[in-house]
């Protein structure tokens, strides 16, 4: 689950990671109040207005702006809230901005040498260990740094049983070219950051930039935090941070219905039980020349009601030109699923406007095929996996 910058910073702050302070605002008026409050708390007289959307590269898209007084806070917030922000990480339409974060300006006027670094904490799946990636080339697109100057990106591997050892924090600070107070502050920063990553059950932290001010303070100016959804049950307060406005609406609806659904770009809708079979089905569709429109695991109980909900969700995607139902009747009997498909088809009437290819295998598969073939519905039945994929190709003229 992805978080907004302000939520990520809240988590960092709660574990003692120094952050650029900010207050989130839903309207230009709230933005001005937030700015006044920030001045009371931090003494800042300049502010940064930052669009809160689940996408990086906001600065490039005009979503991060400096405001030198309260009037500018108001006018900039007014322009940013409600805008469609287009960044290198959004679609062409961009993302709607609902909130802004009003931050203290931490790049002191006259600060001749603010240094920006890159730092992320994540799991290296190859080694099964966490790692800290860092670079002196912060503030800019890390993908470009990785491409053009890969030697400027360092990684530090962390043994999960030992945790981050003090020398590792110092090594990172040293490699970033720091010494004296700044080195000590950076080692502290890294240690707090790693603790926050572990204790919050995150799967990724990306802090770009980490800032060193001229008076040797080290702080997180940006925060991209991804939480491990499987651990949310033990972080109720984090679960409440979910912003459904940022998520794919069809995926949100599927989740509420207990379906495992991931939206994809293709034109063949898939309804499958079991994640492994769903992956296999997508592969076969690809091999037959098609493109899966989604991953959908309806789970063990593929009854009429569930099948109907699943059809409804698949059909919300306007790209879907055919639906392949591929269900293995192990726990659930195939004839029950077949009845479910037929009932759902009947109930949905002309809402189903694309061909359906249905392959049911397992317990009572023969009865299931008969049921479908005799239903009078326009459902194309198939017995073998390949046969089902070929029939998909056939209806799509591939």
Enumerate binding residues for Mn ion (CB under 5 A): 208, 222
Tokens of 228: 């491990």
- Which one, of 61, 33, 35, 29, lies nearest residue 48 by Cα? 35
Q: Give CA separation, 12 vs 101, 192, 202, in Å.
A: 16, 8, 11
> Which does residue 105 touch among ligand GDP, Mn ion, none (CB within 5 to 8 A, set by kind)?
ligand GDP
User: Minimum distance from CB of 65 to ligand GDP (Å)?
Assistant: 9
Query: 54 is in the binding site of which of Mn ion, ligand GDP, none (Cβ under 5 to 8 A by kind)?
Result: none
- For ligand GDP, the closer of residues 206 and 308 by Cβ is 206
Question: Does residue 22 belong to the site contacting ligand GDP (CB under 6 A)?
Answer: no
The least CB distance from residue 56 to Mn ion, in Å, is 6
Question: Cβ(179)–Cβ(212) under 8 Å?
Answer: no
What are the residues whose beta carbons fall under 8 Å from the beta carbon of 256, sequence distance 6 or more? none
* Binding-site partner at residue 57 among ligand GDP, Mn ion, none, CB < 5 to 8 Å by type: ligand GDP
- Candidates 209, 266, 269, 329: give the one binding ligand GDP (CB under 6 A): 209
Please tell me the distance from the alpha carbon of residue 89 to that of residue 76, in angstroms, as a whole number: 22
Q: Tell me how far, at minimum, the Cβ of 64 lies from Mn ion, in Å.
A: 8
- 215's CB contacts (< 8 A; 6+ apart) are none
- Applying CB under 6 A, does 107 fall inside the site for ligand GDP? yes
| Cβ 396 to ligand GDP shortest distance, Å | 40
Q: What's the rounded Cα separation, in Å, for the pair 397 and 322?
A: 11
Does 221 engage in binding with ligand GDP (CB under 6 A)?
yes
Tokens read off for 180: 């004296």
Listing DSSP states for 108-126 in one string gives: -TT-S--EEEEEEEEEETT
- Binding ligand GDP (rule: CB under 6 A), the pick from 38, 49, 64, 323 is 64
> Residue 289 gets which letter from DSSP?
T
15 lies in the binding site for ligand GDP (CB under 6 A): no
Q: Could you say whether residue 105 binds ligand GDP (CB under 6 A)? A: yes
67 counts as binding ligand GDP under rule CB under 6 A: no
Spatial separation of the C-alpha atoms in residues 355 and 382, rounded to whole Å: 13
Three-state DSSP state, 357 = strand
- Residue of the chain from 8, 22, 28, 56 that contacts ligand GDP (CB under 6 A): 56
Q: Which residues are catalytic?
A: 118, 206
Q: Is 66 in the site for ligand GDP (CB under 6 A)?
A: yes
Q: Smallest gap, in angstroms, from Cβ of residue 119 to ligand GDP?
A: 12
Pick from 1, 3, 25, 48 the residue near ligand GDP by CB under 6 A: 48
CA 76 to chain centre: 27
Strands 153-158 and 294-297: unpaired
Helix (H, G, I), strand (E, B) or coil at 5: helix
Contacting residues toward ligand GDP, per CB under 6 A: 20, 48, 50, 56-59, 64, 66, 103, 105-107, 139, 208-209, 221-222
């Amino acid at each position: 689950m992805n978080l907004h910058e302000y939520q990520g910073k809240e988590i960092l702050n709660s574990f003692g990671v120094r952050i650029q302070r900010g207050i989130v605002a839903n309207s230009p008026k709230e933005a001005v109040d937030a700015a006044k409050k920030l001045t009371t708390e931090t003494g800042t007289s300049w502010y940064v207005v930052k669009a809160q959307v689940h996408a990086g590269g906001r600065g490039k898209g005009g979503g991060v702006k400096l405001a030198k007084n309260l009037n500018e806070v108001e006018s900039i917030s007014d322009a940013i809230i409600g805008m469609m922000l287009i960044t290198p990480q959004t679609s062409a339409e961009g993302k709607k901005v609902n909130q802004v974060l009003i931050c203290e300006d931490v790049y002191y006027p006259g600060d001749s040498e603010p240094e920006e670094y890159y730092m992320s904490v994540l799991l290296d799946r190859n080694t099964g260990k966490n790692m800290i990636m860092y670079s002196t080339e912060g503030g800019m697109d890390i993908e470009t740094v990785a491409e053009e100057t890969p030697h400027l990106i360092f990684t530090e591997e962390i043994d999960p049983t030992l945790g981050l050892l003090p020398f590792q924090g110092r090594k990172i600070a040293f490699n970033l070219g720091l010494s004296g107070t700044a080195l000590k502050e950076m080692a502290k920063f890294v240690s707090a950051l790693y603790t926050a990553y572990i204790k919050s059950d995150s799967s990724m932290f990306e802090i770009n930039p980490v800032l060193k001010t001229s008076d040797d303070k080290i702080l997180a100016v940006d925060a991209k935090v991804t939480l491990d959804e499987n651990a949310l049950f033990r972080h109720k307060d984090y679960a409440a941070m979910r912003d459904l406005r940022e998520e794919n609406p069809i995926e949100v609806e599927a989740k509420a219905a207990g379906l495992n659904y991931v939206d994809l770009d293709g034109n063949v809708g898939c309804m499958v039980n079991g994640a492994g079979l769903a992956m296999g089905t997508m592969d076969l569709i690809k091999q037959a020349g098609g493109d899966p429109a989604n991953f959908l695991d309806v789970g063990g109980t593929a009854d009429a009601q569930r099948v109907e909900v699943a059809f409804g969700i698949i059909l919300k995607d306007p790209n879907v030109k055919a639906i392949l139902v591929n269900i293995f009747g192990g726990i659930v009997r195939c004839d029950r699923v077949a009845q479910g498909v037929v009932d759902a088809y009947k109930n949905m009437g002309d809402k189903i406007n694309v061909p359906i290819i249905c392959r049911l295998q397992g317990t009572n598969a023969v009865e299931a095929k008969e049921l479908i073939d005799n239903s009078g519905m326009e459902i194309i039945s198939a017995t073998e996996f390949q046969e089902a994929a070929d029939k998909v190709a056939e209806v799509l003229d591939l």
